[in-house]
Amino acid sequence: MHDLIFERRKMKIEDLEGYAEELGLDMERFRADMNSEAVEAKIKEDQA
């Protein structure tokens, strides 16, 4: 996923879901993680 994001530089949710599908990720879990408060908190922590 990391390589696709930096290679293609598109970060809209539709793009990220496309990358996840391309990589064969579990889409139900991917969507749940994308909407998770814990994941959001981790992202904010990393941005600080």
User: What are the distances in angstroms from CA 46 to CA 24, 26, 27, 29, 42?
Assistant: 26, 24, 24, 22, 6
- pLDDT, averaged in runs of 10, over the chain (48 residues): 83 93 97 94 90
CA atoms within 13 A on the CB side of 17: 10
Per-residue confidence (pLDDT) for residue 7, from 0 to 100: 85
pLDDT for 10: 84
pLDDT for 1: 81
Within 10 Å of residue 21's Cβ, how many Cβ atoms?
A: 11
DSSP letter, residue 26: -
With beta carbons less than 8 A apart as the criterion, state whether 11 and 5 touch. yes
